[in-house]
Each structure stands twice: as C-alpha cells, then as structure tokens.
Amino acid sequence: MLFSKNPTSRFLLLTLTFVLLLSFSININASDPTNTEDDSDDLEQLLALDEQEDQLPEDQDQDQESSSRFSEAEVLSKAQRIVLELNSDNSKRVIDENEFVLLLGYAPWCVRSAELMPQFAEAATSLKELGSPVLMAKLDAERYPKMASLLDIKGFPTLLLFVNGTSQAYTGGFSAEEIMIWARKKTGVPVIRINTVTEAEDFLKKHHMFVIGLFEKFEGSDYRAFIKAAISDNEIQFAEASNIEVAKLLYPYIKATNFLGIVKSEPERYTAYDGTFEMENILQFLDYNKFPLVTKLTELNSVRVYSSPIKLQVYVFAKADDFKTLLEPLQDVARKFTTKVMFIYIDIVDENLAKPFLTLFGLEESKNTLVTAFDNKGSSKYLLQSDPTPSNIEEFCSGLLHGSISTYFKSQPIPDNVRNNASVLAVVGKTFDDLVLNSPKNVLLEVYTPWCINCETTSKQIEKLAKHFKGLDSLIFAKIDASANEHPKLQVDDYPSLFLYKAGDKDNPIKLSTKSGSKELAAFINKQVRPKDQAAKDEL
C-alpha cells in the first residue's frame, strides 16, 4: 500500500487498482496446450439439435436425450447448445461466414468466466427467440491460446463482437438481459416499437428496466434525439409508442406526447425526464437515474458502479440478514438524496468485495454493520463513527453534501511509548500531529511497512542512530507504519523513507537517502540539528 505526495491520490490509485482487479483483466498464460485439440460440434449440428428438440413431444425428450450422440458433458442444456463452441479449426470460418458473432473468451478455471457463462447462455436463448441475427460463440482461450491471441483475447473473460469479421470491444453490462440488450442495439435494434396492449404486456414481462418514449409521430427533432440516445446508450432497452393508452401500460403517469421516462423494478419505479430533448441531456439523465435506490455491489456490476457520474458514494457493509432489516429505511434515506448520493450495499462477509474497501479504513476484520463514503471526485474517504441507524446515516449524508464531515484517515491505537521505554517513538495516525508536526523538537521519522523488504535493515540503522544521539535533547527519533496509519501531511514515495522534520520548519521535511551508511546519516544529522559551535565528530 503506497502513499503518494497527496494522500488522496493514493486512495484513488488503490480504488483504481481494485476496479481493475474486478474488471476481468487477468492475463492469459500463452503457453502451448499439452492436450490434443478435439473438434467441437459444428453450428449446423447444434442448431439442428435445437430444432429437433423444439418439435419433440415432452414425453419423448428423455429418450431423445439418451439416444443423442452428444454427451451430457458436451451439451448441458438447450441454452448452452445455442452457444457455439469454437476451436482452432472452426473459429475463422464461423466468424467470416456470419455477419454478427458475439464471442466469449474464457478459461475453465476462471471464476468470473464461470459466473458470466450462464448469463451469456441465457442471453443467447433470448436472442434466438427474438430472431436476432447474432451468433453467440465461446472459445476456451486456455486450450486454444494461438487462436485466442489471433482473435485478440487478452484476459478472462473477454467479450468481443465481430461484425463482418471485424471485432469491437464489448461495452455493456454482464447480466443476461444487459448482454441481450447490448447485442440487439449493436446489430440494428436500438428501439422496440410497441403498438398494442398485448405487445406492452409482453414487453413488461421481459424487461425489468427500460426507457419509454411517447411520440405522436416518429419524426421530428425530439424523436431524432431519442433515437440517438438509444443508439449511444449501451445498457438500457429503449421502447417507443405513439398510442398514449398503450404507453400508459408501461408508464402510468404519462399525460402528453413527446414524453420520456425510465422504469425500474424497485420502489422508486418511475422517473420522468423533464429536460430538453438532446442526446447528451438524455444520456446524463439515464446515468443519474438508472441505478436502484440501493445498489448491491457484485463483481459483474462493479465497473458500472465505479464509473457512475454520482461521485459521492455511500457504502453500507452488513451481513445479509442484518441488511434485510436495514434495506427499507435505507431506501427512505436514499430517496432524499437522489442524484446526489449513490447508496451501495456490500455483504461484509464477502472477502473479495468487502475486504479491499475495509482495508482502506483499517477495518478489514470487522463483522458488524459499517457505513463509509467515498468522494470519487476529490478521492476522499469518510467513516460513520456513530451507530448505523437510519437517522445517523441521513445526518452523515447531509454532512457529506455540506462538507461538514471530516475526511477519515486510518490509525492504529495510540501506543504507550513511555512504558515501552522506546528509543524510537512509535507514531500512529492519531499522534502524528502531536509527536511530529507540533513537537518543538527536531524529528527524524522512519516510514515503513511490514511487507517492505529493505525496511528491517533501515530500522536497525535508525535504532543504532537513536542510541548514538540519546543525549541530544533537541532530537527525537520516530517511526510510523504507513500500511496502517495515514495523515494528510505524510508525504511518502517509497519504502523505507526517512524524513527530518526540523524544529521551526515542519512543513518542509528533508528527505534522507536510505542508501546512506550510518556514518553519513550521523554526519548529516549533526550538521542539521547541532549548533555549529557544538558540532561533534561522528564516532559511529
């Protein structure tokens, strides 16, 4: 864990690192496979099997399954069969012969690949039912590394859309619905037109979040802006209607044409757009309103959450059972801060998601409900230090908005340097002001971390120097563990680091070289802190 010259930049770096770890960017091992590359089933065979299954009576399904030459290991479900398994022999042919191919590059051992694969298969089923021209395919990038490299698959999992053989990066969400919506938008269906009550009812069954636009005629500048927004957005299904009674089945509070609103399957279900019909304004409206009142963070939605334009984000860490009780009152609080504060829930027992955040606060071992906040615009972090009741959370959020909540800097408990009879004082975040910045004496501070390879050698050197200068009352030797303590004025580039805070000029510490020997350091200290007429020769 590194400090930068600006402590808030360090937090930004840590957050960015955490985002990257969650954003499916694990490098592929490019070693050659040791096993023989077996041919996978051709697309024609798979689609033919699906058609046969569709036509079979239910009582014949089991017989057909058992008599099929496709083993259970090769074909686990109808949804999985729709996804064509590529290999070294068929990949180029499939991509070249199909106008649209959405490809999932995966590794069998990759947890995130395993999480994404059923969502991908479900999306494939939905796309087939809709008559989409998109062919869904997958490639075991570990088994076929040369083909993976040729297709520019650089991590697990990777999603790529090939249009007439040319690839483009996937930029949508990772649920089945989000994959399906993105694929349709990129292949010619950015908006679904709804003409009848039956179509509206069917649409409601399939989409838990969508944008509805009502226009008297599908023309004009407002409508063109609506279409441009639909094409530019990568996550939300857009629907359009010209009949107000049909549109009201999707959004009951419509009163006139040239209307746009977003619908979500949560208590805050309907939100109307009240701005001018311009693409940028519509997209901004969606960015601020597409998330639920309280969003549960997962590895699949983490990138979308971090990239939200709502930069003030409140994180609630709690056990699942405890959060069930807190959710409804928390939604009431969130409703008061809509578009200003984003509320996010993380299961505190989920180490992959919770621990990296809690470590930033020095609370990684916590098991009870905690409320924290991050200002991603200013890269600051905050901690609710009272009980996490709804009223306290609301007061906490108000303080965040008004700037009356102090930035949180983690600190170890205050050590008893007197009882420990320490020659080198232990400094923590809470005592940095008193022992270093406000001390009337010169302070030589060692900044270290437990995991630093060279810190132990430097620490022994500082202990030796502290004993040598024991009789010099104007000088204090101190050390701070930067992995567990923070302070806004602690400036560190690497570990170990040595700083001399001179009395009377604590705002401009002098950095000493950790590569210097004890005699060189002693000579430097003599020169800086001893009166010239009392300078003594170094006897180390």
- pLDDT higher than 60, residue 536: no
Average pLDDT over residues 57-65: 46
439, 417 Cβ separation under 8 angstroms: no
Q: What are phi and psi of 251, to 5 degrees?
A: -140, 95
- The reported pLDDT for the residue numbered 72 is 36
Region of 530 (left: φ > 0; alpha: ψ -120 to 50; beta: rest) is: beta
Q: Is 492 exposed, middle or buried (0-12, 13-18, 19+ CB in 10 A)?
A: buried
pLDDT in tens, 110-121: 988 998 999 999
Q: How far apart are CA 236 and CA 207, in angstroms?
A: 9
How many Cβ atoms are within 10 Å of 404's Cβ, its own excluded?
9
Catalytic residue among 49, 424, 455, 466: 455
Strand ranges (E), 56-197? 84-86, 100-106, 134-140, 155-156, 158-163, 166-169, 191-193
Nearest to 382 by CA among 369, 396, 395, 394: 396
- The reported pLDDT for the residue numbered 7 is 40
378 or 355, which is more confident?
Answer: 355
- The reported pLDDT for the residue numbered 463 is 94
Kind of pairing between the strands at 497-502 and 425-427? unpaired
Region of 434 (left: φ > 0; alpha: ψ -120 to 50; beta: rest) is: alpha
- The reported pLDDT for the residue numbered 81 is 65
Cα-to-chain-centroid distance, residue 351:
14
Element (DSSP H or E) covering residue 45: helix 43-55
Q: How far apart are CA 475 and CA 534, in angstroms?
A: 14
- The reported pLDDT for the residue numbered 25 is 37
Q: Lowest mean pLDDT of 64-68, 105-109, 461-465, name the range.
A: 64-68
- pLDDT higher than 50, residue 415: yes
CA-to-CA dists, residue 10 to 379, 486, 512, angstroms: 9, 10, 22
Structure tokens at 58: 């239910």
490 or 7, which is more confident?
Answer: 490
CA-to-CA dists, residue 205 to 179, 200, 249, angstroms: 17, 9, 12
Q: How confident is the model at residue 303 (pLDDT cuts 50, 70, 90)?
A: confident
3-state class (DSSP) for residue 276: coil
Q: How far apart are CA 453 and CA 451, in angstroms?
A: 6
3-state class (DSSP) for residue 390: helix
Q: How far apart are CA 246 and CA 196, in angstroms?
A: 6
Mean pLDDT of the chain, nearest integer? 84
- The reported pLDDT for the residue numbered 82 is 79
Q: How far apart are CA 444 and CA 475, in angstroms?
A: 7
- The reported pLDDT for the residue numbered 118 is 92
Element (DSSP H or E) covering residue 431: none
Strand ranges (E), 269-385? 270-272, 294-296, 312-318, 342-347, 370-375, 380-383
- The reported pLDDT for the residue numbered 61 is 46
317, 348 Cβ separation under 8 angstroms: yes
Catalytic residue among 135, 214, 452, 462: 452
pLDDT in tens, 158-199: 999 999 999 999 988 888 988 999 999 988 889 999 999 999
Percent of the chain with pLDDT over 90: 66
Average pLDDT over residues 57-68: 45
| Residue 209 bridge partners (DSSP) | 264
216 or 50, which is more confident?
Answer: 216
At CA 140, angle to CA 137 and CA 143, rounded to 5? 150
- The reported pLDDT for the residue numbered 493 is 77
Average pLDDT over residues 125-154: 92
pLDDT in tens, 311-334: 999 999 999 999 999 999 999 999
- The reported pLDDT for the residue numbered 109 is 93
- pLDDT higher than 50, residue 60: no
Structure tokens at 421: 């009879």
Q: How far apart are CA 519 and CA 310, in angstroms?
A: 54
* DSSP, res 142: T
pLDDT in tens, 426-441: 999 999 999 999 999 9
Catalytic residue among 46, 110, 179, 447: 110
pLDDT in tens, 489-525: 997 878 999 999 999 899 999 999 999 899 999 999 9
- Does the active-site annotation cover 397? no
Nearest to 268 by CA among 316, 339, 326: 339
- Does the active-site annotation cover 110? yes
- The reported pLDDT for the residue numbered 130 is 85
Kind of pairing between the strands at 270-272 and 191-193? unpaired
pLDDT in tens, 215-270: 999 999 999 999 999 999 988 999 999 999 999 999 999 989 999 999 998 888 99
Percent of the chain with pLDDT over 70: 83
Q: How far apart are CA 321 and CA 367, in angstroms?
A: 13
Q: Is the dihedral of CA 346, 349, 352, 356 positive or negative?
A: positive
Nearest to 333 by CA among 293, 365, 367, 366: 293
| Terminal C-alpha separation, the chain | 34
- The reported pLDDT for the residue numbered 491 is 77
Kind of pairing between the strands at 259-264 and 270-272? antiparallel
